[in-house]
Amino acid sequence: MASIERERVLAHVVKGISARPAQERSSLVRGFMGSALNLLPVGVRFGLLVSGVVCAFAVAHAQPAVQLEVRFSKPLAVFHYIRQLTPKARPNPYKAQFEASRFATAANLARLEAFGAIRTDYEYNYPDYPDGKIEGSTAYILKRNLIFASSLADFRTRSIVVIPSGDLSTMVSTLEAFTPVYDALIYEPSRATFERPPAPIIGETTFLGRLV
CA–CA distance, 55 with 51 (Å, rounded to integer):
6
User: Is pLDDT of 128 > 50?
Assistant: yes
> Band of the pLDDT at 201, cuts 50, 70, 90?
low
Q: If pLDDT is split at 50, 70 and 90, which confidence band does 62 have?
A: low
Number of domains in the chain: 2
207 part of a folded domain: no
Q: Which residues contact 45 (CB under 8 A, 6 or more apart)?
A: 37
Lowest-confidence segment of 35-44, 119-128, 162-171, 183-192 by average pLDDT: 35-44
> What is residue 69's predicted lDDT score, i.e. its pLDDT?
65
Does 88 share its domain with 156? yes
Report d(CA 91, CA 34) in Å as an integer: 53
pTM of the model: 0.61
Identity of the amino acid at 136: G
**Of 114 and 134, more confident:** 114
Report which of residues 124 and 171 the model is more confident about.
171
> At 124, which helix (H) or strand (E)?
strand 123-125
> Residue 8 is part of which domain span?
2-62
Q: Tell whether 211 is covered by a domain.
A: no
Indicate whether 212 belongs to any domain. Answer: no
Indicate if 11 and 108 belong to the same structural domain.
no
Bigger pLDDT: 169 vs 31 = 169
Residue 165 lies in a domain: yes
One domain for residues 148 and 169: yes
User: How many Cα atoms sit within 13 Å of 162 on the Cβ side?
Assistant: 24
Residue 18 has pLDDT above 60, yes or no: no
The answer to whether residues 49 and 102 belong to one domain is: no
Q: How far apart are CA 93 and CA 69, in angstroms?
A: 30
User: Averaging pLDDT over each range in 15-19, 124-128, 148-152, which range is the top one?
Assistant: 148-152
